[in-house]
Amino acid sequence: MTYTPALRYERSATAARSGDLLPQLLIVGCIAFNFLLSVINANITAVNTSEVQLVQLALTGAAVLLTLLRGGPNVPLRFGVLVATYCFGYAIASFVSGGFDYKNLYDVLMLCSFIGLGSTMRHMSPRFVDRLLLLAVAAAAFEYFLPALYAQLVNPQSYLTNTRDWVATALSDTFADGAGLSLNGLRGDGVSWLGLTADGHRVGGIFLEPLSQGYFAALVAIFYCFRFRDWFWRRTLAVGICLLLALVSDTRLAVLLIGFAYLVTPLARRLPIGFAYAVPVLGAIVGFMLYGVYSLTGDTSEIAYSLSLTFQLLHDSPLYNVVFGGLDMTTAADSGIITIMARSGLIGLAAFFAIGPGLALRGRAPLFAILIAVYVLATAIFGAAFLSIKTAALLGLLIGAIDVGAIAPKTR
């Protein structure tokens, strides 16, 4: 048999697609493992915190192992330098605070691990993201149309109570309604933001809780804005599906991020990569300005309160703690920025905002980098949930894969 260049190329492409299957399957595992464990907890045997942590560590370990087996991460030296810089800031903050919080360190290094894994990919089928979205939509539809059956078969409330101490405490103290759903599966006033669900029901679907579903929808919408940047109707349809997923989760920030990404794509695609570096700085300036306005006017709205959790604490904290860590962690769970700064200081925060949106890589996809920089900044201001493996694993894989050209915008 004669091996022509075309045949060799076809076989090489097929081998690349086959070899890149395992990283994609790993992402499916990261998204779905809590759902599967919740089903086991509801129908077979109780699941505890240690078992969940073991599964999560196994998934992260598999990402590291796959990266090494595939030849190591294909990243610039500065990526490793910035990871080391973050760890250095973390070590200083741990000394200052006199404590060691392994979770925050794990969350950031987990994201770095999946960025490294994504950078080893040679080909990522766009259908992979389509299928992930279809999986999320199917699970969300199941919960939306059959909430009682979903609560019975999946029962996120029981699973999260068994595996999250803070959920168990909150339920025992304040929560009485919505049996079977997650703690934030119902709006307290019984009314969803846009009235899309009855009785304030917020859909969590395969993610079990609505915030992660909303963030997933926003992340996938940004991917489609990048993928279909030259295709108006395809971009509109794909982003519309993501918007619907965010709407039924009743996650306001996700809805706003999706709308922002869609509307600014025609402009952002013409901007240089340098604009992505300016996003955290501009975000800090705008955040402090808004906080100042809300403080002067006595605004007590939800957004004013959320901004105060970050910017008021930064304003009131000693400069030493802002730079070197050890900030008050009382409300840190509601501010990802404070969480990171408390454990790694200003040094670690700066390193993270170069690592998290992929700015420490080659910058070959300015549009994606700019939109992801906005996504990371906005979600970090309003909490640390964006570092959950359910969405952070996909974020890391997309950053790494897009940077090495494993997937590119669809051309005409």
Question: How would you write 170-195 as a 3-class SS string?
Answer: HHHHHCCCCCCCCCCCECCCCCCCCC
The closest of 366, 370, 394 to 128, measured between CA atoms, is: 394
Per-residue model confidence (pLDDT) at position 317: 86
Per-residue model confidence (pLDDT) at position 247: 93
Is the pLDDT at 143 greater than 90? The verdict is yes
CB atoms within 10 A of CB 133: 20
Per-residue model confidence (pLDDT) at position 5: 43
- Give the pTM: 0.91
* Residue in the block written with tokens 């940077």: 403
Q: Which burial class, exposed, middle or buried, applies to 2 when counting CB atoms under 10 A from its CB (0-12, 13-18, 19+)?
A: exposed
33-47, 111-125, 320-334: least confident range: 320-334
Per-residue model confidence (pLDDT) at position 8: 40
Top-confidence residue, 61 or 186? 61
Is the pLDDT at 167 greater than 90? The verdict is no
* Cα(137)–Cα(255) distance, integer angstroms: 16
Per-residue model confidence (pLDDT) at position 99: 76
Token pair, residue 217, equals 């929808």
Token pair, residue 46, equals 């109780």
CB contact burial 63-85 (16+ within 10 A = b; e otherwise): bbebbeebeebbbeeebeebbeb
Coil, strand or helix at 365: coil
* pLDDT tens column, 349-367: 999 999 988 888 988 899 9
The closest of 34, 24, 22, 20 to 390, measured between CA atoms, is: 34
Per-residue model confidence (pLDDT) at position 401: 96
Give me the amino acid identity at 155.
N
Helix (H) or strand (E) holding 255: helix 252-268
Q: Which burial class, exposed, middle or buried, applies to 111 when counting CB atoms under 10 A from its CB (0-12, 13-18, 19+)?
A: buried
* Cβ atoms 128, 402 nearer than 8 A: no
Top-confidence residue, 132 or 313? 132
Is the pLDDT at 296 greater than 90? The verdict is no
Per-residue model confidence (pLDDT) at position 405: 93
Per-residue model confidence (pLDDT) at position 104: 86
* Cα(106)–Cα(53) distance, integer angstroms: 11
* pLDDT tens column, 84-105: 999 999 999 988 887 777 888 9
* pLDDT tens column, 49-68: 999 999 999 999 999 999 99
Q: What is the mean pLDDT of residues 152-160?
A: 92
Token pair, residue 49, equals 């915190």
The closest of 300, 348, 307, 306 to 327, measured between CA atoms, is: 348
* Cα(340)–Cα(336) distance, integer angstroms: 6
Is the pLDDT at 11 greater than 50? The verdict is no
* Cβ atoms 363, 82 nearer than 8 A: no
184 pLDDT band, cuts 50/70/90, is low
Half-sphere exposure for 236 (CA within 13 Å, toward CB): 3
List, in order, residues 6 or more apart from 128 with CB less than 8 Å away. Answer: 24
* Cβ atoms 289, 243 nearer than 8 A: no
Beta strands in 32-96 (DSSP E): none
Coil, strand or helix at 135: helix
75-89, 224-238, 252-266, 356-370: least confident range: 356-370
Per-residue model confidence (pLDDT) at position 174: 46
List, in order, residues 6 or more apart from 286 with CB less than 8 Å away. Answer: none
* Cα(113)–Cα(122) distance, integer angstroms: 17
2 pLDDT band, cuts 50/70/90, is very low
* Residue in the block written with tokens 């039924």: 248
27-31, 48-52, 132-136, 176-180: least confident range: 176-180
